[in-house]
Structure 1
Amino acid sequence: MTILVAYVPRPEGQAALEKGIELALASKENLIVVNATPGGTGEDPSRADAQDVERVEQLISVSGIKAEFKQFVRGKNAVEELNDLVAAHSVSMLVIGLRKRTAVGKLIMGSMAQEILMTVECPILAVKAN
């Protein structure tokens, strides 16, 4: 079985990563950490840069678990990428990070977390950043 972590380079992404490593260690499962953005010409704050990718890869390599980091920038949104990974792997749990947003902020910007919760077909653990 595999634990899947949806990673973004923000505190909520770090919280999801830390919890995913903790769960994989406790259950002796594999870990896949994924950073997925649709790409395009604009700057995307959800896309991990090379320095952040290196930091995450170093963190998972010293964790003592079988783990890999995947980054997708190929036109699909994060929810589509997560659904594809859940379908392709034996995922026991998806770990996502949450951030506090106002109701108006959710209305205007949407909620990726809500879309993940409503569409991904596996158990989901949502964690908050400290």
Structure 2
Amino acid sequence: MSVVVGYVPSREGALVLERAVDEARSRGVRLVALNVPRSSEFAQDFVADDAELADLDALLAEAGVEHEVRRGTGDEAPADTLLDLVDEVGAELVVIGLRRRSPVGKMLMGSTSQRVLLDAPCPVLAVQHD
């Protein structure tokens, strides 16, 4: 069993990751962190480069949690990539971040969080940041 976290390299992403680490520790399971490139030019701030993923791996090793760091291909929607990973590893929990967006923004850009919340086969912990 595992905890899966959708990771973005940001201050908000660090808060989500912290909750995921806490959950993996308390459950005694492996943490699988996933960063997914997005095709939209508006979403490139969410893409972790190789150095950021290496830093993430080192941070999780230092935290003493069994873990794996993955990068999606960006060939499919981020929600699909995350949900496929949840099925693949038999996740018992998914941890995601929530952002405030206008209704128009949701309509135009879609909502990865909404898809994960509705379609995940396991509980989802949604972390909202200020």
TM-score by length of 2: 0.87
Q: Equivalent residues in 2 for 1:98-117 (5 A)?
A: 98-117=98-117
Provide the C-alpha distance between the structure 1 equivalents of 2:36 and 2:30, rounded to a whole number of angstroms.
Answer: 19
Q: CA deviation at 1:105?
A: 2.3
Runs of 5+ in structure 1 lacking a partner? none
Provide the C-alpha distance between the structure 1 equivalents of 2:105 and 2:121, rounded to a whole number of angstroms.
Answer: 26
Go from structure 1 to structure 2 and tell me whether the alpha carbon gap of 1:34 and 1:64 turns closer, same or farther (over 3 Å shift): same
- Aligned twin of 1:6: 6
Q: CA deviation at 1:39?
A: 5.1
Q: CA deviation at 1:40?
A: 8.6
Q: Equivalent residues in 2 for 1:40-59 (5 A)?
A: 44-59=44-59
Q: CA deviation at 1:120?
A: 2.0
Go from structure 1 to structure 2 and tell me whether the alpha carbon gap of 1:22 and 1:43 turns closer, same or farther (over 3 Å shift): closer
Q: CA deviation at 1:56?
A: 1.0
1:62 is paired with a residue whose SS is helix
Choose between structure 1 and 2 for higher RCO, CA contacts under 8 A separated by at least 6 residues.
1
TM-score by length of 1: 0.87
**2:52 corresponds to which letter in structure 1?**
D
1:34 is paired with a residue whose SS is strand
1:75 aligns with 2:85: no
- 2:38–2:47 Cα contact (<8 Å) kept: no
Q: Report sequence identity in percent.
A: 31
Q: CA deviation at 1:15?
A: 1.7
Q: Greater share of helix residues, 1 or 2? A: 2
What root-mean-square deviation, in Å, do the aligned CA atoms of Structure 1 and Structure 2 show? 2.2
Go from structure 1 to structure 2 and tell me whether the alpha carbon gap of 1:43 and 1:97 turns closer, same or farther (over 3 Å shift): closer
